[in-house]
Amino acid sequence: MSRWVKNVIGDARGYGGCDRCDDRWNWKKPHTIWYSDAGGMFPLCEECYQEITPQERYDYCKNLWIEWGSPEHVDFNRIAQEVGLQSSTPTANEEVD
């Protein structure tokens, strides 16, 4: 079955999709990026996550956060670490854009 048909089926069934390639979650594996011990987001499929830089991954997370209405419970320092922008937890005075 072609990619286009899979995406039409997923869209018709209400599936979301990758913010980069727009493939639907009914057939693409999402890459979960944890923003807390209990919550994660998946703006990218596994394939797109592997193809882009840590800064681009971070930007996709930030865009999804804005779409969500900018909830305060999202820890962007943790996201930065999850996507590979930081190798350790920043101090209290450090922030990541």
pLDDT, tens digit (0-9, with 9 covering 90-100), for 6-43 = 999 999 999 999 999 999 999 999 999 999 999 999 99
Label residues 49-64 b or e (16+ Cβ within 10 Å = b).
beeeeeeebbbbbbeb
Q: CA 3, CA 35: separation in Å to the nearest integer?
A: 30
- In the chain, where the domains are located: 3-83
pLDDT, tens digit (0-9, with 9 covering 90-100), for 71-84 = 899 999 999 999 99
